[in-house]
């Protein structure tokens, strides 16, 4: 076994249109220790978390001979690896039925990890196991793996349980803007992703700031800012209108407290946003139930983060966009957040504008609102493009 | 000499199968008892005529795909089908016209709204109740009204318990769900006596781009299958096929497509109604002429060969709708088996209504 030598592995991702993307990993193997670093192309972690996970699993297999492996990778990459993509050997301590003979049987059919079981025909495998000498042990092993797979998916709910959860946790957050609240039947929903789309200066950021200030009185708000549009002065202005206290000092105190409920992160590319969201996820998972809970997540604006990657490489860009969308929806549902994202418009056919990010994005948000400013006045118009319970085409005017 | 060797091998095989038979314990894929098989084969397989899919009689064991651009009421059709499935045929003297079986909903889009679902279920219950004999009596006494409300709530609760839901955030979760579905169905049947008749999948192509973006690594050995779009789709189709062999169900799946240039995918022009009446010929241009699909098919061949398919889309009609003035009109076209005409329908809170 070669010692003290860095080995470089490289996987080439070949795309349909002939473009190539490279994923690289470095590993240093000793008898009992392997260090593994994982990179995307261009030396940066430039791929979706799923691709990073695959790169790492490829590296792990090569390092399979060691007793200990040290992984250096972001948390969201390591988590699925540990159980599902790592070699079956890792499961032996916890599930003794997965012994070397079982692993040898699986290897003869091209199955090396729990994830490989997912794309193989388990009935055929069982039929092969049937013909083996130790058939019941093998079948017990397959049953054991199936129960591990049963943990891989979300739990099944029935209608009553879902409804209970919706009534208890998924309330409506009023935005504080009368026209919009009336249009949406109370405000934006917790557990859903709402998109505000419109041409420039159509009031999108103002709506977000107003909503943030309205929600911050009772809950925490996370504002992900991509274009330096977050303005504490505006927040203070909106709060000043709501807070109804006589003395200036008391007012100031309340203002301080409420503004400390709004967290603002500046991000300038999509990978930084993924980082922020993953940190948020682990923070929310381990936070205690009492105290001030986070209920609103605003991304201003998501199109600025996604458009650069969408143009360059066709499949990776769309995969990144959809991963971001699913991550936001997962956060909304599992941690009871309302997510508000801003999108801009681009020119469409016939000179009329249409929302950016294309057709694949259309099925991501739960509701889509089109904002525009009314010429010659301070009013704005909001039009429903899509909503789970309101008819599309309904419009309303509002002022900020 | 050949004959005797064949006889020998047959005898050997018989001996070895007896040996294996005596070692049989709980298997992964167990044979059914005769009773179970009879039950399975004799499950009622009525033809389901769900509007707006009434033109083709679908029954348990079929796979139907509803394709259409976004906001063309595909999910709504699925929800109405689920409600028809979970409502009983009749209950407490009122006929609801349902099937009284369970329905399973696999949400790959993760956009399902349970409050809306319960609203629609309540509407159907109220509507059936009000049009029956009980409703005709004057609701004079408070007690009668309260009793009616109580019955409705009981019915609502029992229907909602028959609706099973799961969400999947990526293909691994979806495949894991499909692989363990067999056990889940058996458990439901043993524990609650529920028979699942309907499997709804919202947006079968939801993870298409995510899987395409996944790379095709194949380290370690030639026979290892890589996590590739092709393999994932094949595994998915295979699981559904096997499931249908053992648990006869009707599978309905939606698929989001992008229609071609002739059809404006810009909802803004649709919503503002900027299309002049003359441009209604757009709706006729979009139908598939010469079996040429106006949209690009992205699902792999294994899926395409497996199902019946129909397409629905939204048109902005200038036709005046007397009974349903505020609702959009949708068009549905059967692609397989092919039909020559289009069905017009509209969706309301109480169901889907055919217009022509």
A320–B213: do the CB atoms touch at under 8 Å?
Answer: yes
Tell me which chain B residues have a C-beta less than 8 angstroms from the C-beta of A118.
Answer: 172, 175-176, 179, 235
**The predicted structure's pLDDT at residue A392:** 78
From residue B152, alpha-carbon distances to A162, B92, B115, B131 in Å are 19, 10, 17, 14
Residue A159 resides in a domain: no
Q: What residues contact residue A396 under an 8 Å CB cut-off, 6+ apart? A: A179, A180, A182, A183, A381, A382
Give the burial string for A285-294 (b: 16+ CB within 10 Å, else e): eeeeeeeeeb
Identify the CA nearest to A62 among candidates A90, A91, A88, A26. A26
SS3 B66: strand
State which residue of chain B sits closest to A323, comparing Cα positions.
B210
From residue A295, alpha-carbon distances to A169, A190, A329 in Å are 10, 7, 13
Pair (A277, A336) in one structural domain: yes
Residue A66 resides in a domain: yes
Pair (A122, A266) in one structural domain: no
CB B80 within 8 A of CB B352: yes
Among candidate residues A151, A173, A200, the one where a domain is terminated: A151
Gap between the Cα atoms of A195 and A366, Å rounded: 8
Instruction: Give the Cβ contact number of residue A333 at 10 Å.
Output: 22
Residue A222 resides in a domain: yes
Gap between the Cα atoms of A50 and A54, Å rounded: 6
CB A381 within 8 A of CB A395: yes
CB B231 within 8 A of CB B237: no
Residue B24 has pLDDT above 70, yes or no: no
Pair (A147, A239) in one structural domain: no
Helix or strand run (H / E) with residue A162: helix A159-169
Residue A243 resides in a domain: yes
A392–B114: do the CB atoms touch at under 8 Å?
Answer: no
Gap between the Cα atoms of A345 and A198, Å rounded: 6
CB A249 within 8 A of CB A323: no
Gap between the Cα atoms of A289 and B185, Å rounded: 35
**The predicted structure's pLDDT at residue B279:** 35
Q: Tokens 């000092």 identify what position?
A: A249
What is the token pair recorded at B106?
Answer: 């696999």
Tell me which chain B residues have a C-beta less than 8 angstroms from the C-beta of A120.
Answer: 225, 235
Residue A248 resides in a domain: yes
Pair (A129, A243) in one structural domain: no
A122–B179: do the CB atoms touch at under 8 Å?
Answer: yes
Residue A230 belongs to what domain range?
164-399
* Higher per-residue pLDDT: A80 or B276: A80
Tell me which chain B residues have a C-beta less than 8 angstroms from the C-beta of A7.
Answer: none
Please report, in angstroms and rounded to a whole number, the separation of the first and last CA atoms in chain B: 74
Tell me which chain A residues have a C-beta less than 8 angstroms from the C-beta of B260.
Answer: none
B109–A363: do the CB atoms touch at under 8 Å?
Answer: yes
Could you read off the pLDDT of A218-275 as tens digits, one per residue?
899 999 999 888 989 999 888 888 877 778 888 888 888 888 999 999 999 888 898 8
Could you read off the pLDDT of B30-80 as tens digits, one per residue?
666 787 777 766 666 666 667 677 777 777 888 888 888 887 778 888 898
State which residue of chain A sits closest to B238, comparing Cα positions.
A121
A160–B160: do the CB atoms touch at under 8 Å?
Answer: yes
Pair (A229, A327) in one structural domain: yes
Identify the CA nearest to A86 among candidates A65, A51, A57, A63. A57
Residue A36 resides in a domain: yes
Per-residue pLDDT averaged across B312-324, rounded?
49
Q: Which of A342-351, B140-149, B240-249 has the lowest mean pLDDT?
A: B140-149
Average pLDDT, chain B: 73
Pair (A144, A183) in one structural domain: no
B163–A158: do the CB atoms touch at under 8 Å?
Answer: yes
B173–A153: do the CB atoms touch at under 8 Å?
Answer: yes
Suggest the residue from A24, A162, A317 to mutate for an interface test with chain B (most B CBs closer than 10 A). A162
Pair (A239, A382) in one structural domain: yes
Domain count, chain A: 2
CB A324 within 8 A of CB A274: yes
CB A36 within 8 A of CB A25: yes
SS3 A185: coil
Domain CATH for A361:
3.40.50.300
Instruction: Give the Cβ contact number of residue A396 at 10 Å.
Output: 18
**The predicted structure's pLDDT at residue A194:** 95
Among candidate residues A151, A185, A202, the one where a domain is terminated: A151
Among candidate residues A151, A175, A205, the one where a domain is terminated: A151
Residue B284 has pLDDT above 60, yes or no: no
Evaluated on CA atoms A193, A194, A200, A204, the torsion sign reads negative
CB B129 within 8 A of CB B135: yes
Most confident of B216-225, B278-287, B329-338: B329-338
Pair (A58, A170) in one structural domain: no
A319–B114: do the CB atoms touch at under 8 Å?
Answer: no
State pTM to two decimals: 0.81
Residue A156 resides in a domain: no
Residue A326 resides in a domain: yes
* Higher per-residue pLDDT: A216 or A82: A216
Q: What residues contact residue A373 under an 8 Å CB cut-off, 6+ apart? A: A201, A202, A203, A379, A380, A381
Identify the CA nearest to B72 among candidates B242, B295, B229. B295
Name the band, by pLDDT with cuts 50, 70 and 90, for residue B331: confident
Pair (A23, A127) in one structural domain: yes
Pair (A237, A328) in one structural domain: yes
Could you read off the pLDDT of A293-335 as tens digits, one per residue?
899 999 988 999 988 888 765 677 888 899 899 999 999 999 9
Pair (A222, A282) in one structural domain: yes
Tell me which chain A residues have a C-beta less than 8 angstroms from the C-beta of B264.
Answer: 349
Residue B280 has pLDDT above 50, yes or no: no
**The predicted structure's pLDDT at residue B48:** 67
Largest CA distance in chain B: 94
B166–A121: do the CB atoms touch at under 8 Å?
Answer: no
Helices assigned H by DSSP within A287-383: 302-312, 314-334
Pair (A122, A188) in one structural domain: no
The distance of A120 to chain B (nearest Cα, Å) reads 7
Q: Which of A209-223, A257-271, A345-359, B248-262 has the lowest mean pLDDT?
A: B248-262
């Amino acid at each position: 076994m070669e010692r003290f030598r860095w080995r470089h592995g490289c996987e080439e991702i070949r795309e349909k249109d002939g473009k190539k993307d490279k994923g690289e990993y470095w590993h240093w193997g000793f008898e009992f220790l392997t260090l593994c670093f994982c990179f995307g192309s261009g030396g940066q972690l430039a791929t979706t978390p799923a691709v990073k996970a695959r790169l790492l699993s490829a590296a792990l297999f090569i390092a399979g001979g060691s007793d200990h492996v040290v992984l250096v990778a972001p948390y969201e990459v390591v988590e699925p690896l540990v159980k599902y993509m790592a070699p079956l050997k890792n499961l032996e301590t916890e599930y003794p039925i997965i012994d070397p003979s079982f692993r040898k049987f699986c290897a003869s059919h091209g199955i090396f990890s729990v994830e490989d079981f997912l794309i193989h025909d388990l009935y055929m495998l069982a039929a092969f196991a049937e013909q083996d000498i130790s058939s019941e042990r093998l079948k017990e092993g397959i049953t054991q793996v199936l129960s591990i797979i049963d943990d891989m998916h979300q739990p099944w709910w029935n209608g009553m349980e879902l409804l209970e959860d919706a009534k208890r946790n998924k309330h409506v957050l009023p935005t504080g803007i009368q026209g919009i609240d009336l249009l949406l039947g109370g405000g934006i929903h917790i557990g859903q992703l709402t998109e505000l789309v419109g041409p420039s200066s159509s009031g999108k950021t103002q709506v977000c700031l107003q909503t943030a200030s309205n929600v911050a009185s009772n809950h925490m708000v996370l504002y992900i800012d991509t274009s330096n549009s977050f303005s504490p002065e505006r927040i203070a202005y909106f709060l000043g209108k709501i807070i109804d206290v006589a003395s200036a000092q008391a007012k100031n105190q309340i203002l301080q407290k409420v503004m400390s409920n709004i967290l603002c992160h500046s991000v300038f590319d999509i990978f930084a946003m993924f980082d922020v969201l993953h940190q948020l996820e682990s923070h929310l998972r381990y936070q205690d139930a009492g105290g001030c809970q986070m209920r609103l997540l605003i991304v201003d604006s998501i199109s600025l983060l996604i458009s650069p990657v969408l143009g360059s490489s066709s499949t990776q860009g769309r995969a990144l966009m959809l991963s971001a969308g699913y991550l936001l929806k997962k956060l909304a549902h599992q941690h009871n957040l309302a997510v508000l994202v801003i999108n801009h418009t681009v020119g469409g056919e016939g000179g009329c504008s249409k929302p950016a990010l294309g057709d694949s994005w259309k099925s991501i948000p739960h509701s889509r609102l089109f904002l525009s400013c009314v010429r010659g006045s301070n009013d704005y118009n909001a039009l429903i493009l899509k909503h789970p319970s309101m008819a599309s085409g309904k419009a309303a005017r509002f002022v900020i | 000499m050949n004959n005797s060797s064949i006889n020998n091998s047959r005898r050997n095989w018989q001996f070895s199968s007896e040996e294996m038979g005596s070692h049989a314990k709980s298997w992964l894929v167990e044979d059914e008892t005769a009773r179970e098989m009879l039950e399975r084969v004799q499950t009622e397989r009525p033809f389901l005529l769900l509007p707006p899919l009434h033109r083709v009689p679908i029954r348990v064991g079929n796979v139907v795909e509803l394709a259409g651009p976004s906001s063309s009421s595909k999910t709504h059709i699925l929800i109405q089908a689920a409600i028809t499935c979970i409502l009983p045929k009749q209950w407490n003297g009122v006929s609801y016209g349902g099937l009284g079986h369970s329905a399973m909903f696999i949400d790959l889009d993760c956009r399902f709204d349970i409050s809306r679902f319960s609203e629609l279920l309540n509407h159907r219950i109220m509507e059936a109740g009000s049009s029956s004999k009980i409703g005709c009596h004057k609701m004079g006494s408070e007690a009668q009204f309260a009793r009616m409300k109580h019955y409705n709530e009981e019915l609502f609760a029992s229907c909602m318990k028959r609706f099973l839901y799961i969400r999947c955030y990526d293909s691994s979760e979806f495949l894991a769900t499909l692989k363990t579905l067999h056990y889940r169905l058996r458990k439901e049947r043993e524990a609650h006596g529920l028979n699942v008749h309907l499997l709804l999948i919202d947006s079968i192509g939801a993870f298409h781009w995510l899987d395409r973006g996944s790379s095709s690594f194949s380290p370690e050995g030639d026979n290892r299958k890589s996590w590739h779009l092709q393999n994932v789709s094949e595994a998915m189709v295979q699981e559904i096929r096997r499931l249908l062999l053992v648990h006869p169900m009707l599978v309905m799946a939606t698929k989001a497509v992008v229609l071609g240039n002739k059809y404006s995918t810009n909802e803004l022009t649709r919503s503002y109604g900027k299309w002049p009446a003359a441009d209604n010929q757009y709706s006729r241009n979009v139908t598939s002429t010469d079996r040429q699909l106006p949209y690009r098919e992205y699902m792999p061949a294994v899926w395409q060969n497996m199902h019946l398919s129909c397409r629905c889309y939204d048109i902005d009609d200038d036709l005046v709708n007397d009974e349903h003035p505020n609702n959009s009109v949708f068009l549905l076209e059967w692609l397989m088996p092919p039909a020559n005409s289009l069905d017009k329908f509209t969706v309301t809170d109480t169901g889907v209504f055919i217009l022509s």
